[in-house]
Amino acid sequence: MAKKKSIGFEELDAKLDRVIGSLATKGDIRELKEDICELNAKVDRVIDTMATKEDIASLEGRMDQFDERLKRVIIALDHVKSGFDNMTLEYAAISAKLARYEKWFEILAKKTRVKLTI
């Protein structure tokens, strides 16, 4: 049989001090608990502010609806613009025609010796 090693009181005391030194005290446990509670509260705040898959899907749906509305508005504005362009051309044609009529009236007034009033 192996012979047991004899440990002296001082050596045993030193080993016991090392074991006790490595154990957590009530204060250490309390601090750890407070740190865990603080971390838990931070995690809860982060989770509360995070978007869920449902939130993102809802937002994507709303963005699709917005895109469709925007396309309809752009198409409507394009129709208004083309109508405006047509009216601008028509106005130019009418202005040119009016200028010709005024010229004809002046010629007719001269030939008939009628004074035109403005």
Amino acid residing at 78: D
pLDDT tens, residue by residue, 54-87:
989 999 999 999 999 999 999 999 999 999 999 9
Q: Could you list the residue range(s) of the whole structural domain that residue 68 is in?
A: 25-112
> pLDDT at position 47, please?
86
**Contacts of 115 by beta carbon, 8 Å cutoff, 6+ apart:** 109
Dihedral over alpha carbons 108, 112, 114, 118 (to 10 degrees): 0
Q: Report whether 112 contacts 105 (CB < 8 A).
A: no
Q: Are the CB atoms for 71 and 79 separated by under 8 Å?
A: no
Domain count, the chain: 1
User: Considering the domain boundaries, does residue 118 fall inside one?
Assistant: no
Asked if residue 13 belongs to a domain, the reply is no
Q: pTM for the full model?
A: 0.48
| Per-residue model confidence as pLDDT tens digits over 6-52 | 677 788 778 777 877 777 778 888 888 999 999 999 999 988 888 88
83-103 pLDDT per residue, tens: 999 999 999 999 999 999 999
Does residue 109 contact residue 115 with C-beta atoms inside 8 Å? yes
